[in-house]
Amino acid sequence: MECTVKWLGQESGMSFMAETGSGHMVAMDGAPEAGGRNLAPRPMEMLLAGTGGCTAFDIVMILKKGRHQVSGCDVRLEADRAETDPKVFTRIHFHFRVSGHNLKPEAVARAIDLSKDKYCSASIMLGKTASITHDFEIIETH
C-alpha cells in the first residue's frame, strides 16, 4: 500500500492533497489557529473516519457472509485525544446502528467482536493507545 501527500503551497495555508495507491484523491486541511483555512477534514479526522469505515466494512461483510438480511450500517465514533503532544487518541467509542430484517443481537455482537479482535487493522492499531468501547442498536426493516 502506498500514498503520496503533497502540501498545496504557501497560498493554501496548511492544505494537503493525498493521492492513494488506488488512484483516489483526498484533501486535508488544518485548523485556522494552526494556519489552515478549514477547507477539508483534519488528518486526525481522516484517521478516525477511516477507522469507522474499516470496521463498518467488516461488519457488513461478516453479516452478509452469514446470510443475515443486513440493509444498513452506520457507526458514530466519539474520541478523546491526549492534551499534550503527541496528541494520540486516548479513548474511542463506537456506536453502531445496524439495519436489517430479523437481525439477531448475537449475530451483530459477533460481527462487531470479529472486527474488533481480528479484522479491523485500523481499530486494532489505535487500540494500542486508546481505550476502545463499542455498543450497538438494531433497526428492524421489512
**pLDDT digits over 37-77, tens only?**
999 999 999 999 999 999 999 999 999 999 999 999 999 99
- Considering the domain architecture, whether residues 18 and 64 belong to the same structural domain is answered as no
- Considering the domain architecture, whether residues 12 and 49 belong to the same structural domain is answered as no
C-alpha atoms less than 13 angstroms from C-alpha of 65 in its C-beta half-sphere = 9
- Considering the domain architecture, whether residues 65 and 109 belong to the same structural domain is answered as yes
- The percent of residues in the chain predicted with pLDDT above 90, rounded, is 98
Q: When comparing pLDDT for 138 and 11, which is higher?
A: 138
**What strands, in cross-sheet order, belong to the sheet with 16-20?**
3-7, 16-20, 25-28
How many angstroms separate the CA atoms of 74 and 63, rounded?
Answer: 14
- Considering the domain architecture, whether residues 134 and 80 belong to the same structural domain is answered as yes
All cell numbers assigned to 120: 479491523
- Considering the domain architecture, whether residues 61 and 123 belong to the same structural domain is answered as yes
- Considering the domain architecture, whether residues 98 and 126 belong to the same structural domain is answered as yes
Q: How many structural domains are present in the chain?
A: 2
- Considering the domain architecture, whether residues 23 and 88 belong to the same structural domain is answered as no
Amino acid at 49: A
**pLDDT digits over 92-120, tens only?**
999 999 999 999 999 999 999 999 999 99
- Considering the domain architecture, whether residues 28 and 11 belong to the same structural domain is answered as yes
- Considering the domain architecture, whether residues 27 and 55 belong to the same structural domain is answered as no
- Considering the domain architecture, whether residues 98 and 132 belong to the same structural domain is answered as yes
- Considering the domain architecture, whether residues 21 and 74 belong to the same structural domain is answered as no
- Considering the domain architecture, whether residues 76 and 10 belong to the same structural domain is answered as no
DSSP strand pairing (89-101 vs 3-7): unpaired
pLDDT tops 90 at residue 136: yes
In CATH, what number is assigned to the domain containing residue 75? 3.30.300.20
Owning domain of residue 25: 3-34
- Give the per-residue pLDDT at 55: 98
Q: Beta-carbon neighbour count of residue 111 at 10 Å?
A: 28
